[in-house]
Copies of this chain bind each other. A is one copy, B any other.
Amino acid sequence: MSARRVNADELSRDKIIRKARFLFEEKGYRAVSMRSIAAELGCSHGALYYHFKNKEQLFYGMIEEDFAQLNQIIDTVMASEEHRAQKLRTLFLRFIEYGLNNQNQYEFMFLMKGEGVDGLMQSPANESYEKFAQAVFKLMDRPPAIYLIWSAFLSLHGFVSHFLGYAQSYSEAEAAAENHVTFVLRGLGNEGSC
């Protein structure tokens, strides 16, 4: 009612994002309206536009913090004690795992084009792919053609993007993922890993 709340009741990027994450994870980007977020927070939807320029920026602000994750996953795999061939396999599996356990983020990173979010996600996605490609490059027995890495990535991407929405989490698709990764490794032609 009153135009400004007392300190303790004030909003903050953090409060908003926490609630938004909950809702987005439950219902997906499109099914969550700015008004519904505001309602859950007990404020007017106008207030959200003080903290975030628009819905996309709010969503972006929310997954921004998770962006580093994929890169970190790659780093972790690279730093592990496994053999190179095994590392490669693990890398692929972890990629799928990441995609299916962070479906919102994945969708925005690699799947959403033509909704206005376009440009935003592009650079983090490219960054992540670059890191992925370099990791694969290092883990192969012989330096592979770049298009081979690209194909491997697209194949994993196909797997993830199909299971988005069908599988609730990675665990439900684990067996299939294992098979698919074997397939991709053979496609790469890395002798040691098949």
Contacts and interface: CB of A to CB of B under 8 A. Distances in A.
A181 to B, nearest CB: 9
A31 B116 CA distance: 11
B179 A183 contact: no
A158 B164 CA distance: 13
Given A184-B187, A186-B187, A187-B186, A162 B154 contact: yes
Interface in A145-164: 147-148, 150-152, 154-159, 161-162, 164
Contacts of A110: 162
Interface in A89-120: 110-111, 113-115
Contacts of A179: 147-148, 150-151
Contacts of A31: 114
A40 B111 CA distance: 31
A165 interface: yes
A28 interface: yes
A62 to B, nearest CB: 19
Contact of A155 (B111, B114, B154, B164): B154
A110 B162 CA distance: 8
A33 B113 CA distance: 19
A131 interface: no
A114 B180 CA distance: 25
Contact of A151 (B150, B154, B165, B183): B183
24 contacts: A30-B114, A30-B115, A110-B162, A111-B161, A113-B165, A113-B166, A147-B179, A147-B180, A148-B179, A148-B183, A150-B176, A151-B155, A151-B159, A151-B179, A151-B183, A151-B184, A152-B183, A154-B180, A155-B159, A155-B187, A156-B158, A157-B161, A158-B158, A186-B186
Q: Which 5 A-B pairs have the closest CB atoms?
A: A158-B158, A187-B187, A155-B155, A151-B183, A154-B158
